[in-house]
Amino acid sequence: MMNEFEQAKKEYEQIPVPEELADRVQAGIRQGRAKRMQRKWKRGAGAVAACLVLVVGTLNVSPTVAAAAADVPVLGGLFQVLTVRSYQDTNEDRTVEVEQPGISGGALAQQVSEEIQKRVDAKIAEGEEIIADYKEAFLATGGTEEQWAEKDNTISVTYDIKSQTDTAVSFVIDSYVSIANAYQEQVYYNLDLAEGRELTLEDVLGEDWVSLCNDVISAEIAEHPDDFFDTSMGGFTTVDETTSFYINEAGNPVVVFPEYTIAPGAMGVQEFEISK
């Protein structure tokens, strides 16, 4: 199963993103990628669930990030969410800012940490390529090195813990390239580390989760219809197994739709709390 997981990651990282597409089309491509990866990730996570052992793992935290990892959240004394990389690197073309999480404790925690590592490395490489291409085009169309030096070209990867209990954690990894709105991405993780699996909306809401989510989301959209795309423009129709969400401090799932998916980009990321 690890071979299948690694192959899925390889396929994901090799999918090109056409730079000439409009923002909304690019957002659709990103959403499609995320859906494919979520399906493959669920299969991989299920395979390792049976072999999960509740022991504290060891992460190789370098001295440069030891201070950042000193006050880490502890889950039931068995798991830790650690900042395993925290740094800023600046050269004449760009600034890279990284705050990367990792999880200690068990097979699932290790697998998730490895996936995060690969995803963060891929986003940094992608950002470097975008900025290099942009600089080449900027100079080729009459821009000067002095004008280029005035630009804020930042590649950022950060994370935010949304909620945690003794045995579970919900967090998001947020990455973006400052000069390209279409290359912003949020990836959500909802992990039951005691059971060794990724939580689903059905786990949290029960067997009627689809209708429950759809009713809440449709009602909120109906209150402000001008803020959203209608169905003829690809607006909201239904949630499914690949719909992103996180669990808030109240224990409720919050369904998330990226920019340009169900609403104009100016409306930002759309979130809907589903009360149980």
Asked whether residue 154 falls in the same domain as residue 182, the answer is: yes
Mean per-residue pLDDT, 26-30? 50
Lowest-confidence segment of 43-57, 88-102, 122-136 by average pLDDT: 43-57
CA nearest to 236, candidates 248, 227, 246, 249: 227
pTM: predicted TM-score of the whole model, two decimal places? 0.71
Tokens 């494919």, residue?
36
Range of the domain at 234: 202-276
Asked whether residue 79 falls in the same domain as residue 119, the answer is: yes
Asked whether residue 90 falls in the same domain as residue 128, the answer is: yes
pLDDT at 28: 52
pLDDT at 16: 52
Residue 196: other Cβ atoms inside 10 A: 21
Q: Residue 48 pLDDT more than 80?
A: no
Q: By CB neighbour count within 10 A (0-12 exposed, 13-18 middle, 19+ buried), where does 239 fall?
A: buried
Strand order in the sheet with 270-273: 244-247, 253-257, 270-273
| Bridge partners of residue 272, in order along the sequence | 255
Asked whether residue 190 falls in the same domain as residue 232, the answer is: no
pLDDT digits (tens, 9 = 90+) for 200-225: 999 999 999 999 999 999 999 999 99
Determine the straight-line distance between the first and last CA of the chain, rounded to whole angstroms.
34
